[in-house]
Amino acid sequence: MQEFCSAFRISTALSIIVQKYGGTSVGTTERIRNVANRLLATQREGHQVVAVVSAMAGVTDNLLKLASEVSNSPTDREMDVLLATGEQTTIALTAMAIDDLGGSAISLTGAQAGIETDGVHTKARISNISPTEVHRLLNEGHIVILAGFQGRTAEGRITTLGRGGSDLSAIAMAAAINADLCQIFTDVDGVYTCDPRVVPDAQKIDVISYDEMLEMASSGSKVMQSRAVEFAKKFGVRFEVRSSLNDNPGTLVTHETMSMESVVIRGVSLERDQAKVTIEDVPDKPANASKIFQAIASANINIDMIVQNVSWDGKADISFTLHKNDLAKAKEVLKPTLDGLGNEVSLSAMDGIAKVSAVGIGMRSHSGVAAQLFSALGEAGINIQMITTSEIKISVTIVEAEAEEAARVVHRAFDLHQPRG
Amino acid sequence: MQEFCSAFRISTALSIIVQKYGGTSVGTTERIRNVANRLLATQREGHQVVAVVSAMAGVTDNLLKLASEVSNSPTDREMDVLLATGEQTTIALTAMAIDDLGGSAISLTGAQAGIETDGVHTKARISNISPTEVHRLLNEGHIVILAGFQGRTAEGRITTLGRGGSDLSAIAMAAAINADLCQIFTDVDGVYTCDPRVVPDAQKIDVISYDEMLEMASSGSKVMQSRAVEFAKKFGVRFEVRSSLNDNPGTLVTHETMSMESVVIRGVSLERDQAKVTIEDVPDKPANASKIFQAIASANINIDMIVQNVSWDGKADISFTLHKNDLAKAKEVLKPTLDGLGNEVSLSAMDGIAKVSAVGIGMRSHSGVAAQLFSALGEAGINIQMITTSEIKISVTIVEAEAEEAARVVHRAFDLHQPRG
């Protein structure tokens, strides 16, 4: 808890706090007034405050519906112009609410806030932020309300940042204005050691490192998109994930510290709806694996785990996992490639599998973690299919029917149900 | 008809046409596709095309409702940020529809189109337009879809132009890019000699001068706001008011020509819900009238007709008209002023009156128009209260119950029911 609390002890000097509120948190005008109250309370504590807000829940879906009614394939450029109105509506309403409550707020669109991006519409990347205007407004005593999810190109075109873009806006603005803390308000209390719906005694994590957060996210715990976490890591932005529905402290995501390694496993994540493809007897020549994965990539299919073994006769077996919805397409695009690799090559596939991962930087300094995990699953009679490991993560695939039981077994094997002080 | 048709005979060389579509014309996604088809048809005729669109009907009201839910007195600055999303939504959808129909369109917000205004939020005035970007896009073959009603200050703040602002956007952009014609699409077929609901044999006017249009507008024929017409007059922008629901030619509004004077009266307009205030026995000193009207102006009350007579004993009687909803407030703010003007000053007021006006530049070169009007009303037994005249307009107030009959009488007295060739 010590590190977490320190985030709130920086207020002797004037500090800058960025708070991000997602679509649910600003889903009604009543909730927008709640957010306004929260922002004012933070300012009264002596901080300079920047809020990053998303479109009100449901608004983006309505806009997408309108687009589908006028066009079968709306252009990405105009889609960005359309979707950007969602956040623009929220910033105006939030600023009005603050003024009505006796405060002073100024709204800024992504363009007005100097968030410059590349020109890849609907999934643009931030290339530069000019924080001059935000600093000026903060120094004049205003709360700055920034439209998340959006920016502009150097030529002035409106762009959006894609899924989870508002988190990215908040983290990037926090980096640009050298904020002391970025708070991501959402509808959960923070990051948990596992999904509490699966593991009822899962514990809220007080502090987690960027790398652990990234591995948790990529393993199915979708509190935040990986892009935003990666950006925070790159620019050293401390951020906290917490609930907009209560005042509970959340989870602080920060750089790695010595004390973090004392915890072997930080959390367990579970990803369902996976499928597995195994290609057997691939001649073990340099270019063969790349031919296979290029075929998959060209169909825009994301794959997750990859495992390869080479047998004594110079043939390789390659397995990989992907979302079950992509399985049929993957088999289709692989056919011509495999036909070119020789007669003996065969493909088998199955869906109905899940992935369970144990994540923790403590793994690096503690031996026997993999053995402990395999043994716990074995004792519970759960059969392991594929195994992959990274420096701070061990993942296994299992039959989906056993997924929840597996998560509970691993969670308990590493004592994650114990509250930590 | 000759002048009207000439507007469509400029197409031998490549010409620029600006088309403005109001909220009803883009009120549904189906109507937006109709607008897209119309724009493409115009482009196929060989023109460069700029469309100026309003917010979809109902959208602005929804935004105002949201604002009222978060704040009792929303700031004008944030109101502009909020309302500007309405037009931004329409430009994106219109551009998408054109692309879907095989064309190529690029949307521009007011800010992107270089429409610069002063900083008077919710009723900003256009100070400058930089048409470079619009010209560039037109020369690349795109249809340009411009958000009406909005602009930005030199510092980059979002502004809106107030009521009828989209008409103004269209006229101003037409002036800036030196367009050959500006077409204002609306839900009526054009400007009529009188309101057809009142005078069933009212005729559509083919050509009307700016001044006549202004007098018609200020006298109750609210096809367009006066500001847009004034702007068109100032910069010599020819524009046509026509329906988006059919292909009928509309009314061309243009500079005055010799032939226009042959028509004595262009049209008759009717304004209801008026009230009249008469202040009697005002000592005839220089500052007294200004004291009265400053009191009214400071309460933001618009007054219309003003009549003053000075009697033989050095006392003046001052009468003026205003909207009946402003009457109570006007009496209230006048009380302290009148108390300061002396004991004999008295105020009387009545509502339930209407104004009927006859408008036409032919009046200047035809004598006896006033007499003809008064005599027609007298023969019909309609009593005239106040009279004011300008160079091209005669207005009278009457009891509201007789207003429609008065309009029909005047309309027929000047032969306006006869179709003109």
Which of chain B's residues have a Cβ under 8 Å away from the Cβ of A158?
109, 112
- The verdict on B32 touching A (C-beta cutoff 8 Å) is yes
Q: Which residues of chain A have pLDDT under 70?
A: 1-14, 219-221, 420-421
Which of B72, B82, B157 is closest, CB to CB, to A92?
B82
Say what the pLDDT of residue A9 is: 42
Supply the pLDDT for residue A221: 66
Predicted local confidence at residue A353, as pLDDT: 95
Q: Please state, as a whole number, how many other Cβ atoms lie within 10 Å of the Cβ of residue B200.
A: 9
Amino acid at A27: G
Q: Say yes or no for a CB contact (<8 Å) between A70 and B32.
A: yes
Is B57's Cβ below 8 Å from some Cβ in A? no
**Which of the residues A85, A121, A159 would you substitute to probe the B interface, choosing the one with the greatest number of B C-beta atoms within 10 Å?**
A85
The residue that leads in pLDDT, A71 or B311, is A71
Provide the pLDDT for residue B220.
64
pLDDT at A316: 86
pTM of the full predicted structure? 0.84
Contacts of A109 in chain B (CB under 8 A): 81, 158
Q: How high is the ipTM of this complex?
A: 0.82
The Cα diameter of chain A in Å comes to: 78
Q: Among partner residues A33, A72, A82, which is closest to B100 by beta-carbon distance? A: A72
Which residues are within 8 A (CB) of A10 and not within 5 positions of it... i.e. 6 or more apart? A180, A181
Does the beta carbon of B40 lie under 8 angstroms from any beta carbon of chain A? no
Average pLDDT over every residue of B16-42 = 96
CA B411 to chain A, closest CA, distance in angstroms equals: 45
Q: Distance between CA atoms of B11 and B217, rounded to whole angstroms? A: 31
Write out chain A residues lying below 8 Å of B158, CB-based. Answer: 109, 112
Min Cα–Cα distance to chain A from B48, Å:
20
Q: Given a cut of 80, is residue B6 above it in pLDDT? A: no
Please give the CATH number for the structural domain made up of B2-6+14-256.
3.40.1160.10
Pick from B135-144, B223-232, B370-379, B391-400 the range whose average pLDDT is largest: B135-144
Give CB contacts under 8 A, 24+ apart, made by B134-138: B134/B50, B134/B108, B134/B173, B134/B176, B134/B177, B135/B177, B137/B106, B137/B108, B138/B16, B138/B48, B138/B49, B138/B50, B138/B177
Using the Cβ of A36 and the Cβ atoms of chain B, whether some distance falls under 8 Å is answered with yes
pLDDT-derived band at B221, boundaries 50, 70, 90 = low
Contact present, A20 and A182 (Cβ < 8 Å): yes
- Give the CATH fold of the A15-187 domain: Carbamate kinase (3.40.1160)
Task: Report whether B320 contacts B274 (CB < 8 A).
Answer: no
Query: What part of B 98-117 touches A (C-beta under 8 Å)?
Result: 99-100, 105-107, 109, 111-112
Contacts of A63 in chain B (CB under 8 A): 89
Q: Which of A325, A324, A316, A312 is nearest to A292 (CA)?
A: A316
* Residues of A with Cβ-Cβ distance to B77 under 8 angstroms: 106
Helix, strand, coil tally for chain A in percent (to 5): 40, 25, 35
The pLDDT value given to residue B10: 42
Q: With 90 as the cut, is the pLDDT of residue B194 above it?
A: yes
Q: Bridge-partner residues for A241, per DSSP?
A: A184, A251
Average pLDDT value over all residues in chain B: 91
> Quick check: B3 pLDDT over 50?
no
pLDDT for residue A245: 85
| Closest CA relative to residue A254, chosen from A268, A233, A230 | A233
Pick the residue with more confidence: A113 or B215? A113
List beta partners, residue B282.
Answer: B316
Q: Does B78 touch chain A (CB under 8 A)?
A: yes
Query: Number of residue pairs across A and B with CB atoms under 8 Å?
Result: 121
> Hey, are the CB atoms on A78 and B96 less than 8 Å from each other?
yes
B74 to A82: CB separation less than 8 angstroms, yes or no: no
* B31 interfaces chain A, CB cutoff of 8 Å: no
Residues of chain A with CATH 3.30.2130.10: 268-413
Report CB contact under 8 Å: A99, B66.
Answer: no
Is A88's CB within 8 Å of B91's CB?
no
β-pair type (B315-323, B267-283): antiparallel
Q: What is the DSSP letter of A382?
A: P
Consecutive H or E run containing A390: strand A387-390
Residues of chain A with CATH 3.40.1160.10: 15-187
CB contact under 8 Å between A36 and B70, yes or no, is: yes
Both tokens of A329, joined, read: 């397409």
- B386-401: pLDDT as tens digits: 999 888 999 999 999 9
pLDDT of B152 = 97
Average pLDDT over residues B198-206: 94
Q: How many Å apart are CA A84 and CA A41, to the nearest integer?
A: 28
Nearest to A146 by CA among A84, A189, A103: A84
Question: Which residue of B96, B107, B156 is in closest CB contact with A70?
Answer: B96
Does residue B365 register a pLDDT over 90?
no
Mean pLDDT, residues B236-242 taken together = 95
Residues of chain A positioned with their CB less than 8 A from the CB of B66: 29, 89, 93
Geometric angle at alpha carbon B118, from B112 and B121, rounded to 5°: 90
Tokens 């009521």 map to which residue? B163
The partner residues of B303 in beta bridges, in order of sequence, read B322
> CATH 1.10.390.10: does it fit domain B268-413?
no
Using CA atoms, how far apart are residues A162 and A149, in angstroms rounded to an integer? 7
CB-closest option in B29, B71, B82 to A66: B29
| CB-based contact A82 B70, cutoff 8 Å | no
CA–CA separation, A243 vs A184, rounded Å?
8
CB contact under 8 A, B66 and A29: yes
Identify which of B84, B93, B105 has the shortest CB distance to residue A66.
Answer: B93
For B30, which residue in chain A has the nearest alpha carbon?
A70
- Closest among B388, B392, B389 to B361, alpha carbons compared: B392
Is the pLDDT at B198 greater than 90? The verdict is yes
Which residue, among B5, B93, B16, B7, has the nearest Cα to B47 in the 3D structure?
A: B16
Whether A342 and A371 have beta carbons less than 8 Å apart is answered as no
> Across the interface, do B96 and A29 touch by the CB < 8 Å criterion?
no
